[in-house]
Structures are given as C-alpha cells and as structure tokens.
C-alpha cells in the first residue's frame, strides 16, 4: 500500500487547486477561443474595478522554399546537356501579418451570471443573430452569435464586449460611473 500516501498528497493538491485565488481582485478565465478574461488586470490604463478580455491573434508566418541556380547547365552546340544545372534550396520565413494583442472591456458578470447570459441570448435573438433556446449558458451557439454581432464593430471575439452589451441595450452597471454621478433622486 505504498500508493496511499501519494494518493493523499494528490487529493490535497487537487483540493488546494480549488481554493480561491490569493488575490481576490484577480479572477482569470481562458475562453475556448483563446480570449483571456480578467478582473483587476488589463491594459496599462485599465480601471482597477473593471473587467477586461485580451484577445491574442497569433502572427501569420509564411515559409517560402526556392530553388536557386548555382551553376547553369552546360550545353553542347547541338543543345544536348553535357552537365545538368546545380541548384541549392533556400528556405525563408517572413511575417505576413503581425501578432495582434487586443484588450477590450467586458461586463464583469457576463461569464458567471445565468440571468445576464439569458438576457444576452434574448437580445441577440431579437436582432436575428441567435437562433436557439434561452438557456442562460455561455455555450458555443451563444459565443458564435456574440462573434457574429460584434464582427461588424471590428471585434472578432466570442466574448461579449462592454460596448456591444451597451449596443444591445443591456443595463451594465459601472461602479466608477455610478460613484461619479452619486445616488439617484428617489432611489
């Protein structure tokens, strides 16, 4: 039974991995399409209470292989080849499209609240880009609809941007803006 102590260490390690982060202001999620969503981290001018997504598009690199003539063929007077041409192979890579690193602000509750996701699904369905049941789950169908809705605004991501949420007419609470405006009269 030499495996029992190792099994115990493995279970403790798994439970420790489920513990909350040591820094509660940072919650990180890697989206299925490669977009990283963070709270408390973002671009250099990021607001500390805002949530941001980082969409990284890798560089497109082209590899070109060419045969370069080193020595031309030797031809006889009648046109027959006495010695064939000598070639060398040269392979080069060049960047066709540079890597793109794009930060954009996102609604903080977009990944966690089923109510908010259901509202997003209804808003996208009203605009004809979401054709599925309102489940409150951020599934592949919902991400595709978000991507389709945001693409004309120049953002090719399945993570809902704050700008797109506002265009959809969703009430997204902004703690900093609310603090600047102060409490509303009558509320």
Mean pLDDT over 2-6 rounds to 43
Q: What are the pLDDT digits (tens) for 74-111?
A: 999 999 999 999 999 999 999 999 998 888 988 876 55
**Residue 124: strand pairing partners:** none
> CB within 8 A of 120, min separation 6: which ones?
110, 142, 146, 160, 165, 168, 170
Rounded to 5°, the CA angle 131-172-108 comes to: 85
CA distance 89 to 161: 48
DSSP 53: E
Percent of the chain with pLDDT over 70: 67
143 token code pair: 């991400």
> Where are the chain's structural domains?
21-58+99-173, 60-97
């Amino acid at each position: 039974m030499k495996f029992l102590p190792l099994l115990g260490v493995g279970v403790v390690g798994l439970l420790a991995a489920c513990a909350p982060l040591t820094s509660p202001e940072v919650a990180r999620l890697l989206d299925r399409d490669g977009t990283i969503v963070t709270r408390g981290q973002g671009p250099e001018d990021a607001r500390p209470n805002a949530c941001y997504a980082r969409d990284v598009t890798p560089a497109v690199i082209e590899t070109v292989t060419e045969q370069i003539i080193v020595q031309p063929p030797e031809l006889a007077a009648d046109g027959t080849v006495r010695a064939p041409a000598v070639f060398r192979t040269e392979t080069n890579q060049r960047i066709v499209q540079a890597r793109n690193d794009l930060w954009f602000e996102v609604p903080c509750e977009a990944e966690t609240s089923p109510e908010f996701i259901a509202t997003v699904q209804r808003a996208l369905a009203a605009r004809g880009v979401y054709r599925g049941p309102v489940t409150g789950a951020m599934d592949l169908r919902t991400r595709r609809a978000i991507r389709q809705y945001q693409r004309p605004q120049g953002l090719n991501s399945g993570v809902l941007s704050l700008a797109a949420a506002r265009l959809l007419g969703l009430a997204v609470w902004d703690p900093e803006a609310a603090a600047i405006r102060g409490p509303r009269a009558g509320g």
